[in-house]
Amino acid sequence: PGPMKKIVDRVVEAAEGIPSGQRPRMPGAPSTEPPQVAEPTEPRAPLPPKPDQLAPAPLSAAGRDTGAPADAASQNGGYLTTAQGVRLPDSDHSLKAGPRGPVLLQDHHLREKIMHFDHERIPERVVHARGAAAHGVFRGYGTATGVSKAAFLQEGVETPVFVRFSTVLGSRGSADTVRDTRGFATKFYTGEGVFDLVGNNIPVFFIQDAIKFPDVVHAAKPHPDREIPQAQSAHDTFWDFVSLHTEATHHTLWNMSDRGIPRSYRMMEGFGVHTFRLVNAEGASTLVKFHWKPKAGVHSLVWEEAQLIAGMDPDFHRRDLADAIEAGSFPEWELGIQTFPDTPEQTFAGIDLLDPTKIVPEELAPVQPIGVLTLNANPTNFFAETEQVAFHPGHLVPGIDVTDDALLAGRLFSYLDTQITRLGGPNFAQIPINRPHAPVNDMLRDGFHQDAVHSGVAPYKPNSLDGGCPFFAGPGEHAFIEHPVPIAAAAKVREAPATFADHFSQPRLFWLSLSPVEREHVIAAYTFELSKVYEQAIKERVLTVLARVDEVLCREVAQGLGLPAPQAPAGAQVEVAPSPALSQVGQRWPATGRVLGILTATTSDVGVVRQLREAARDAGLMPLIIAPTGAPLADDLAVQRTYAAARSVEFDALLVAGAPTRGADDHGARDAKSGAVAGGQPALDSRAVLLANEAYRHAKPLAGLADARALWAAAGVDPQAPGVFTGTDAARAVSALVEQLGTHRVWERFPATAH
Ligand code: HDD
């Protein structure tokens, strides 16, 4: 207290003469303002999240392991300091010669503060710049031990993980719900070192050889002259490239399908894409493809929702992931493998396993579950963790090895290289989020941002000065030993295997595997995207590609564009058997973790609203209460969305607990047209009408208590239609929604004409 008192006194003295409102607050000085509003005068925990950051109320009191490193620095310590730890009396005024200046060059605090700010941004990822991540745990089932000796796959072994999901094309600040492939990158901090599985939500890729990666990315990124469009494939250069480079047809078709607009990161499959090689304890190898299967099922938005959300809540997927974890509704995926004998041909059922534009249908090689991933904690700091995490397909552990896939080979170079630009040097493995949990004993030294204080004098091998340390590990000591794959004598060539020339059989397989409504969406997506293309020749060329995939697809897209449908060359369409596993329609999934909007009005019975919310929570749903204003309905019934901020696209299902009439509930409504009072009756609030109308059009389940009928009528909701429940029993209303959410949407309500 002695010296501290003096410092405080001096600071107080220095503050004399400054108007009281601008005076820096001293530690311990009494505050005159209410505690939640005033700047705190002594260290205390950060304020709770602001209302618009509030996640839905927790489903369970989940134990949290934030995964933050033990030395995490927070800003609620005692005193503001410089980066050198010197305490500061003021951070609001530059050092000046008198209050009117000039500013003095010797102001180190000003210089340091602005210097650091000037360098806050680092280069964003050249692809996959936009992403969101979470911590979790992976538990091995032990079912893979016959094919891989990887320790983390053994039964019951729990491994901490960090998973980052992303879009590919957009910049860091772009919208989440654009039509694009999604990245699904997992870092396993295993006891044998870090293993990264850097996959996508689409099992195939645009190109068969990494040397084409700059081409496809340049074509898909915004045009270099005006830098538009952002985070879109709906433009000339993309379609120019994929129509000339037809090995991209399969991936493009997946992008145009519902897979290109996932409902949530929680509801996407993930794929390792390449064929990998697993090696067991006896040294026997097996070729495999990795699959992540979400326990919540694979679900998508519809295109209109995706477009609306991009404006209404560009952070939709990021928020959805964080909210679900915060609410204790932890997303889960099973990791599975398809296994193939490691033969010299490296084919399975005639499919070339080294061709990343091909899948192996699950009906031919079932996906065998080998472990489960649970995401259970949000990052503590976005930049430190989500932005600085660095994945690399070459981060492998004993028991998991690569194949000669030429796309994978190029990736093994690219990911190390990109971190040097992005993270500023070769020491990115020392950034907390990238640090292995296994002991590190490398001989890498120096370089920018060297964090370690290495001891010893002999960072080389062999040495005698450091006692010969560190030593090499033998096969029984968890060493990573490359599988000794024989390499056949061959001439150096720039060529692909002959089977790689088949660009159309698998796009056709995918198309034929989709349900009618999913095909309808594919047609609509191609028509939308090509409508945005200016060059007629490019549209025509895409149609010639589509003709080789399927006549109906080609004809319907051509019709939408107002162009003649070209004929495919005779025999161009190959006979393929569909793979029902590729369709997202027709299965049932748990409704757990789905978002339910509960629409209330000033006339709603608060007891009933409470009952609905509890029933929804008991069913594992995440209910959000929508009300005319933000005023709580009761002490225990906070409002999460006002009418002004609610839009149907946020919800998987809508539950109406009162008919919101204009007049009583129109606070904030500014739409003059909707204020019409018909026949002396107050009209329904236009925003509530739109909510019900959109939810109905997007084939979402709807339920309403008896007075919802007026809303149904105004919103064009047919009360007899499938997936619309109207009644007086609150519990039945919720169970009707839960039942219907099992299929994600009420598919019967979508018109589907493409067969
Ligand atoms: Fe890649 C990032 C997935 C081919 C070069 N890639 C990146 C990320 C994912 C993928 C999920 C984001 C990781 C994160 O969240 O930080 N990439 C894939 C898949 C591919 C693929 C599934 C094909 C099967 N990628 C690919 C090729 C190359 C790259 C062929 C280059 C030759 N990818 C990169 C990169 C990135 C990247 C430039 C950008 C930022 C980063 O690596 O760390 O190096």
The partner residues of 199 in beta bridges, in order of sequence, read 184
Report the alpha-carbon distance of residue 284 to residue 342 in Å, rounded.
9
Q: Say how many C-beta atoms besides its own lie within 10 A of residue 497's C-beta.
A: 13
Q: Per-residue pLDDT tens for 93-143?
A: 999 999 999 999 999 999 999 999 999 999 999 999 999 999 999 999 999
Mean pLDDT, rounded, for 159-163: 98
**Distances 22 to 17, 19, 93, 380 between C-alpha atoms, Å:** 10, 6, 10, 32
> What DSSP character marks residue 376?
E
- Per-residue pLDDT, 155: 98
From the list 203, 200, 122, the residue with the least C-alpha distance to 418 is: 122
Radius of gyration (Cα) for the chain, nearest Å?
29
- Per-residue pLDDT, 204: 98
Q: How confident is the model at residue 64 (pLDDT cuts 50, 70, 90)?
A: very low
Q: Per-residue pLDDT tens for 465-486?
A: 999 999 999 878 999 999 999 9
703: part of which helix (H) or strand (E)? strand 702-705
Q: Say how many C-beta atoms besides its own lie within 10 A of residue 577's C-beta.
A: 11
**Would you say the CB of residue 407 lies under 6 angstroms from ligand 1?**
yes
From the list 666, 670, 657, the residue with the least C-alpha distance to 685 is: 666
Report the alpha-carbon distance of residue 72 to residue 277 in Å, rounded.
38
Say how many Å lie between the CA of residue 415 and the centre of ligand 1: 7
Residues of CATH 1.20.1370.20 domain(s) within the chain?
502-582
Q: HSE (CB half, 13 Å, CA atoms) of 750?
A: 22
CATH superfamily label, 595-669+678-749? Class I glutamine amidotransferase (GATase) domain (3.40.50.880)
Report the alpha-carbon distance of residue 269 to residue 333 in Å, rounded.
8
Here the ipTM equals 0.99
**Distances 365 to 290, 299, 510, 564 between C-alpha atoms, Å:** 12, 23, 16, 40
Q: What is the 3-state secondary structure (H, E, C) of 142-177?
A: CCCCCCCCCHHHCCCCEEEEEEEEEECCCCCCCCCC
Give the dihedral of Cα atoms 635, 636, 640, 644; nearest 10 deg: -40
Say how many Å lie between the CA of residue 429 and the centre of ligand 1: 17
Strand 702-705 to 653-656 pairing: parallel
Q: Per-residue pLDDT tens for 195-237?
A: 999 999 999 999 999 999 999 999 999 999 999 999 999 999 9
Residues of CATH 3.40.50.880 domain(s) within the chain?
595-669+678-749
- Per-residue pLDDT, 217: 98
**Would you say the CB of residue 200 lies under 6 angstroms from ligand 1?**
yes
- Per-residue pLDDT, 682: 63
Residues whose CB falls within 8 Å of the CB of residue 445, separated by 6 or more in sequence, listed in order: 454, 459
Model confidence at 379: pLDDT above 50: yes
Triad 309, 314, 315: Cα angle to 5°:
115
Model confidence at 68: pLDDT above 80: no
Mutate to test the pocket of ligand 1, among 198, 200, 218 (most ligand atoms within 8 A of CB): 198
Model confidence at 314: pLDDT above 60: yes
Report the alpha-carbon distance of residue 355 to residue 353 in Å, rounded.
5
* Contact present, 690 and 698 (Cβ < 8 Å): no
Strand 724-727 to 702-705 pairing: parallel
Report the alpha-carbon distance of residue 332 to residue 346 in Å, rounded.
32
What is the average pLDDT score of the chain? 90
Report the alpha-carbon distance of residue 620 to residue 597 in Å, rounded.
14
* Contact present, 599 and 656 (Cβ < 8 Å): yes
Strand 641-642 to 622-627 pairing: parallel
- Per-residue pLDDT, 56: 54
**Would you say the CB of residue 414 lies under 6 angstroms from ligand 1?**
yes
Q: Which atom of ligand 1 lies nearest, measured to the CA of 211? A: 32
Cut 0.80: pTM above it:
yes
Q: Per-residue pLDDT tens for 171-202?
A: 999 999 999 999 999 999 999 999 999 999 99
Give how far the C-alpha of residue 78 lies from the chain's centroid of Cα atoms, to the nearest Å.
37
b (16+ CB within 10 A) / e for 433-469: bbebeeeeeeeeeeeeeeeeeeeeeeeeeeeeeeeee
- Per-residue pLDDT, 30: 43
Report the alpha-carbon distance of residue 738 to residue 101 in Å, rounded.
67
Say how many Å lie between the CA of residue 127 and the centre of ligand 1: 7
In one-letter notation, the amino acid at residue 294 is P
Mean pLDDT, rounded, for 143-147: 98
b (16+ CB within 10 A) / e for 408-424: bbbbeebbeebbeebbe
Q: How confident is the model at residue 663 (pLDDT cuts 50, 70, 90)?
A: low
Q: Per-residue pLDDT tens for 425-459?
A: 999 999 999 999 999 999 999 999 999 999 999 99
- Per-residue pLDDT, 11: 41
**Would you say the CB of residue 433 lies under 6 angstroms from ligand 1?**
no
Model confidence at 72: pLDDT above 60: no
Q: Per-residue pLDDT tens for 612-657?
A: 999 999 999 999 999 999 999 999 999 999 999 999 999 999 999 9
Output 66 or 241, whichever has higher pLDDT: 241
Report the alpha-carbon distance of residue 598 to residue 197 in Å, rounded.
39
From the list 302, 267, 373, the residue with the least C-alpha distance to 594 is: 267
Residues of CATH 2.40.180.10 domain(s) within the chain?
131-205+257-434
**Distances 34 to 29, 37, 385, 689 between C-alpha atoms, Å:** 14, 6, 35, 40
Mean pLDDT, rounded, for 79-106: 94
Which residue CA neighbors atom 28 of ligand 1 most closely?
411
Q: Per-residue pLDDT tens for 665-694?
A: 554 444 444 444 444 456 899 999 999 999
The partner residues of 598 in beta bridges, in order of sequence, read 625, 655
Helices (H), 339-447: 406-422
Give how far the C-alpha of residue 754 lies from the chain's centroid of Cα atoms, to the nearest Å.
31
- Per-residue pLDDT, 671: 43
Report the alpha-carbon distance of residue 413 to residue 422 in Å, rounded.
15
Mean pLDDT, rounded, for 16-28: 42
Mean pLDDT, rounded, for 369-389: 97
Report the alpha-carbon distance of residue 53 to residue 42 in Å, rounded.
25
Strand 351-352 to 347-348 pairing: antiparallel
Mean pLDDT, rounded, for 247-273: 98
- Per-residue pLDDT, 17: 45
CATH code reported for the domain at 502-582: 1.20.1370.20
Say how many Å lie between the CA of residue 735 and the centre of ligand 1: 43
Which residue CA neighbors atom 19 of ligand 1 most closely?
199
Mutate to test the pocket of ligand 1, among 186, 321, 415, 431 (most ligand atoms within 8 A of CB): 415
* Contact present, 199 and 497 (Cβ < 8 Å): no
**Would you say the CB of residue 185 lies under 6 angstroms from ligand 1?**
yes
Report the alpha-carbon distance of residue 671 to residue 674 in Å, rounded.
6
Report the alpha-carbon distance of residue 664 to residue 648 in Å, rounded.
21
The partner residues of 285 in beta bridges, in order of sequence, read 279
Catalytic residues: 128, 200
- Per-residue pLDDT, 37: 67
Topology adopted by domain 131-205+257-434: Catalase HpII,  Chain A, domain 1 (2.40.180)
